[in-house]
Amino acid sequence: MKQFRSIKGTHDILPKDSYKWHLLESIVHEVCTKFGYQEIRTPIFEESNLFTRSVGEESDIVTKEMYSWKDKDNTVLTLRPELTASVVRAYNQHNLGSLAPIQRYYYIGPLFRRERPQKGRQRQFHQFGIEAFGSKFAEQEAEIIAIAWHILSKCELNEKISLQLNSIGTSKCRSVYREALKNFLAPYLTELSEASKKRFNSNPLRILDTKNEKERSLLKNGPKISDYYSKDDQDHLDEVKDYLSAMDIPFIINPNLVRGLDYYTKTVFEITSNELGSQDALLGGGRYDNLVENLGGRPTPGIGFAAGIERFLLLIDEKKLKLNQPNPDIYFICLEKTGLSISLNISNKLRLKGYKIISDPLRRSMKAQMRDANKSGAKYVLILGEKELQENTIIFKNLENSHQKNIEQKKIIKFFDNLTN
- Nearest distance from C-beta of residue 125 to ligand HAM, angstroms: 3
- Nearest distance from C-beta of residue 306 to ligand HAM, angstroms: 4
Q: Which of 113, 111, 104 is nearest to 86 (CA)?
A: 111
**E strand or H helix that includes residue 8:** none
CA contacts within 13 A on the Cβ side of 286: 28
Nearer to ligand HAM by C-beta: 286 or 339? 286
Nearer to ligand HAM by C-beta: 21 or 355? 21
Query: Beta partners for 163?
Result: 271
- Nearest distance from C-beta of residue 130 to ligand HAM, angstroms: 7
- Nearest distance from C-beta of residue 150 to ligand HAM, angstroms: 17
Nearer to ligand HAM by C-beta: 306 or 412? 306
**E strand or H helix that includes residue 281:** strand 281-287
The residue type of 159 is E
- Nearest distance from C-beta of residue 75 to ligand HAM, angstroms: 23
CA contacts within 13 A on the Cβ side of 189: 11
> Strand, helix or coil at 6?
coil
- Nearest distance from C-beta of residue 251 to ligand HAM, angstroms: 16
195: exposed, middle or buried (Cβ count in 10 Å: 0-12, 13-18, 19+): middle
- Nearest distance from C-beta of residue 113 to ligand HAM, angstroms: 5
Pairing of strands 103-112, 38-39: parallel
State the sign of the Cα–Cα–Cα–Cα dihedral 187, 188, 190, 196: negative
Beta carbons within 8 Å of 2's beta carbon, 6+ residues apart: none
CA contacts within 13 A on the Cβ side of 91: 31
The residue type of 378 is A
Could you tell me how far CA 328 lies from the centroid of its own chain?
Answer: 28
CB 284 within 8 A of CB 303: no
Nearer to ligand HAM by C-beta: 280 or 336? 280
Nearer to ligand HAM by C-beta: 115 or 360? 115
Nearer to ligand HAM by C-beta: 169 or 284? 284
CA contacts within 13 A on the Cβ side of 366: 8
CB 308 within 8 A of CB 283: yes
List contacts with ligand HAM (CB under 6 A): 82-84, 113, 115, 120-122, 125, 127, 129, 131, 261, 281-286, 304-308, 310-311
Nearer to ligand HAM by C-beta: 308 or 339? 308
- Nearest distance from C-beta of residue 268 to ligand HAM, angstroms: 9
Q: Which of 242, 31, 39 is nearest to 149 (CA)?
A: 31
- Nearest distance from C-beta of residue 270 to ligand HAM, angstroms: 7
CB 256 within 8 A of CB 208: yes
Nearer to ligand HAM by C-beta: 88 or 412? 88
Measured from each CB, the residue nearest to ligand HAM is 308
Distance CA 189, CA 207 (A): 12
Nearer to ligand HAM by C-beta: 83 or 151? 83
- Nearest distance from C-beta of residue 120 to ligand HAM, angstroms: 6
> Strand, helix or coil at 336?
coil
Q: Which of 44, 25, 273 is nearest to 163 (CA)?
A: 273
Nearer to ligand HAM by C-beta: 84 or 409? 84
